[in-house]
Amino acid sequence: MTPTYLDHAATTPMRRAAIEAYAEAATLAGNASSQHAQGRRARRVVEESREQIAALLGSRPSEIIFTSGGTEADNLAIKGVFLAQAQRGRKRVVISAVEHHAVLDPARWLQVHEGGEVTISPVDAAGRLDLDEFAATLRASSERTAVVSVMWANNETGTIQPIPAVVDLASRYGVPVHSDAVQAIGTQPVDFGASGLSAMTVGAHKVGGPVGVGALVARRDLPLTELTSGGGQERSVRSGTLDVAGVRAFAVALEETVRERAAEAERVAALRDRLIAGVREQVSGAQLRGVDPATDPTGRLASIANFTFAGCEGDSLLFSLDSRGICASTGSACQAGVPQASHVLLAMGIDEDTARGALRFSLGHTSTEQDVDELLAVLPEAVARARSAGLTTRANKPLTAVES
């Protein structure tokens, strides 16, 4: 049985051109920091790839800082800017309530270890930043704010954030803005220079490149404190031997993605809408989360549909689908074997029991109508099984003192 892959938001299969580019670059023997001919050859591959990626993202080559992926880039942005700004008494970090843990957790780390003050800015029921609350936060604490971080588009719901408005508000107070654009660059036009952002995170494996390589795009005048000390590579803020093959494959994958993006976004959005309509029609109690594309076609990514299924545990539903060859994701994290409701859905005002029944279906460059049809063919039965399992679990649950 060939699996039906509906988890592109986690990682999308490598593009053939990227695989070939990786294999070719992997034959280079030189370290890109070495001075001999082989090293210079490897360096040339890196710098040509840097120029290519910069042109595709609307940035200068010198603004591209290669990292091991989106998580490292987010950490460098949040911690690196904070540590540089803290010297001037700016120790507040403002982030949206629906950020990826690669932003949330560094902010919390700064709070515990560096005396940081973290403000979580709320979102509405669709997961979109509340601009009035955000503006009020900046007015009250702009002189103490080191950095603002608001993701370009959410990885669980696909809701697109009002980045131009965020940048406009923050710029009035001279506060730098970082955005995690890892999910956005596959289907959204992303122009760093035009955005007004101070820093932006991108990753290779969401656009058909390899896992383990990404970049922080950062303006040259943005103060950044190094987090990784060593050889001084990447503007002396990210030391470490460069992954020449990974960088080359990233550039090739991004080139192909950008070239095909408009047509591909339209194709994938049609698949997403077909999936949403089918789930709504065939599964009672299924609730689409995030912006509804029927009322706001440009308010969410073309690639993501997030549903909650009343009476289900998301992990039970996930395992049931997996047994039928469907690869998807829950909207929750699982820590120490205990299912946790998605912080994104909770921030949108969804109650914990409902949020625990979330499932995310995400599409990409290999997705087809057959993938959607195969999901719809097995989803109603999977939901029925998950609901039965939930009823059995609740019926067998020992009464607590309050319940008795």
* Cα atoms in the Cβ-side hemisphere of radius 13 Å centred on 351: 5
Query: Where do the DSSP E strands lie in 26-129?
Result: 64-67, 92-96, 117-121
- Single-letter amino acid code for the residue at 121: S
Q: Which of 143, 245, 251, 273 is nearest to 202 (CA)?
A: 251
Q: What are phi and psi of 184, to 5 degrees?
A: -75, -35
Q: Six-digit token pair at 200? A: 């932006």
CA pseudo-torsion sign 50, 56, 62, 63: negative
Q: Which two tokens stand for residue 177?
A: 């803005």
- Tokens describing residue 9: 């938001």
Among 131, 170, 125, smallest CA distance to 147 is for 170
Set 322, 334, 392, 393: catalytic member = 334
Q: Are 279 and 305 in contact (CB under 8 A)?
A: yes
List 95's β-bridge partners, or say none.
120, 149
285: Cβ–Cβ under 8 A, 6 or more apart, which residues?
Answer: 309, 310, 311
State the pairing for strand pair 329-330/64-67: unpaired
Structure token pair of residue 361? 């279906």
Q: Which of 124, 125, 126, 172 is nearest to 148 (CA)?
A: 172
What is the DSSP track for 124-142? -TTS-B-HHHHHHHHHHHG
Q: How many residues does the chain have?
A: 404
- 334 catalytic residue (yes or no): yes
CA angle in degrees (0–180, nearest 5) for 154-128-296: 90
Assigned token pair, 217 = 């795009």
Dmax (CA) for the chain in angstroms is 78
Q: How far is CA 89 from CA 75, 84, 176, 262, in A?
A: 20, 10, 15, 44
Active site residues: 334
